[in-house]
Structure 1
Amino acid sequence: MRLSLPFAFVLTVATLAGCASPKAAFYTLSPQAPGESTGPAMPVTVLIGPVTVPELVDRPQIVVRAGANQVTIDEFARWADSLKSQIPRVMAADLAQELNSPRVSTYPMAGDPAAAWRVQIDVQRLDATLGDAVTVDASWSVSPPGKRAPLSGRSTVREPSAGAGYDALVAACSRAFATVSLDISASIRSAASP
């Protein structure tokens, strides 16, 4: 009886230790910190439409590039929400800051819906390399109110990572989308000017 009790204890401890696994860390994109507005307030309503992302990165895990033809998918470094939800949210906040307008949203706002500028974004590439950089390649179009022709553009942004971990990588990703927002806001300002 005495020999089996210590054996049972050791077996229990070994089983519990074997079941312990690393905890997942959850990350979210964030809008850039508010600063001084780059121009006068724009009395425009902007609606950010659905955003498309490549299927490769459209998953809960953060995908990082490991080589020219290889990626790694880390089960313990995860997005807190889908990129299709996060990207329009942070871009709406960045555009609101750039345009100095409180009427930028991912949902229709009160007022005349025909008066809204509608933005569509197609993220064609989102490459991230730990300790190096994030590259975002996005095509976008802006439909002005009325029957004016849509504006279109393409932003390719390479944002260096300020560190080796996932925190720095996600921060670089946020800055890259802020740059895309800056390109879109410049297009809206130019088209809205008399």
Structure 2
Amino acid sequence: MRRTTASLAIVAALLLASGCSRSPRVAFYTLTPLTSAGAVQQNFSSAVAVGPVTIPELVNRPQLVVRQAPNRVDVLESHRWAEPLKNEIPRLLAQDLGPLLGSNRVFAYDQVSAAAAQYRVLVDIVRLETVPGDSVTVEAGWVVKGAGNNRREGRAEIREKVNGSDYEAVVAAFSRALAGLSAQIAKTLSGNR
């Protein structure tokens, strides 16, 4: 009986010790607007609403998703986005578009009523992919809707090299790729006037 009690006490102590062990540390990431590309057009005076932006369900999650092989991805539990990408990307595109257009009237669709904007930019991201240590790819199509039936479309695939071996470098590369997408959208908006 004593041996059984001692064995149970040891098992209970081991279970308690394993329950007190620390969880893996989680790192949270955000995208950063880049405004160094130069203005496409100065004094774009019309209000622009960016969004909604659709993204593939594969990456529509809190965790970073990285491609390991043509048919395999890893979902990284300890590397997460600080906010949902479907909310963060429209704000980032708006922040990048403002300086490119020379305007302070560019907003994410959830920041301004679509009815108050003279232009609406709808973005469909079909590919948001990273290969660790190599590159990120953003492939997207967009539609710029203006007054009446004024409508222009565009499409781009932008690849950025990952300058580093950590996930901060991956997120920085995504920020640069999305800034490149903003530059392409700005050209469409400039041609829409």
2:124 aligned residue (122, 126, 137): 122
2:184 paired residue number: 183
- The count of aligned residue pairs is 186
Q: Which amino acid aligns with 2:99?
A: Q
Q: Please state whether the residue corresponding to 2:147 is helix, strand or coil.
A: coil
Structure 1: distance between partners of 2:178 and 2:85: 12
- Once residues 82 and 69 of structure 2 are traced to their aligned partners in structure 1, the CA distance between those partners, rounded to angstroms, is 26
| Matched-pair identity in % | 41
Give the Å deviation of 1:79.
0.6
State the alpha-carbon separation in 1 of the partners of residues 130 and 74 from structure 2. 10
> After TM superposition, which residue ranges in structure 1, 4 or more long, deviate above 4 angstroms?
10-14, 33-36
Partner of 1:162: 163
Q: TM-score, normalised by structure 1?
A: 0.85
Aligned to 2:53: 51
- The SS at the match of 1:147 is coil
- Taking the aligned partners of 2:26 and 2:130, their CA distance within structure 1 comes to 19
Instruction: Report the alpha carbon displacement of residue 41 of structure 1 after superposing the two structures with TM.
Output: 1.6
- Cα pair distance change 1:72/1:91, threshold 3 Å: same
1:166-186 CA-to-partner distances (Å, cap 9, x unmatched) read: 100001001111111100101
Give the structure 2 partner of residue 113 of structure 1: 115
The one-letter amino acid of 1:45's match is A
TM-score by length of 2: 0.86
Equivalent residue for 1:62?
64
- RMSD of aligned residue pairs (Cα, Å): 2.6
Instruction: Provide the secondary structure at the position in 2 that maps to 1:91.
Output: helix
> Corresponding residue for 1:73?
75
Determine the structure 1 residue equivalent to 2:87: 85
Residue 101 of structure 1 and its aligned partner are, at CA, apart by 0.5
Distance across 2 between alignment mates of 1:61 and 1:36: 32
Unaligned runs of at least 5 residues, structure 2: 1-5
1:114–1:145 Cα contact (<8 Å) kept: no
Letter in 2 for 1:37: A
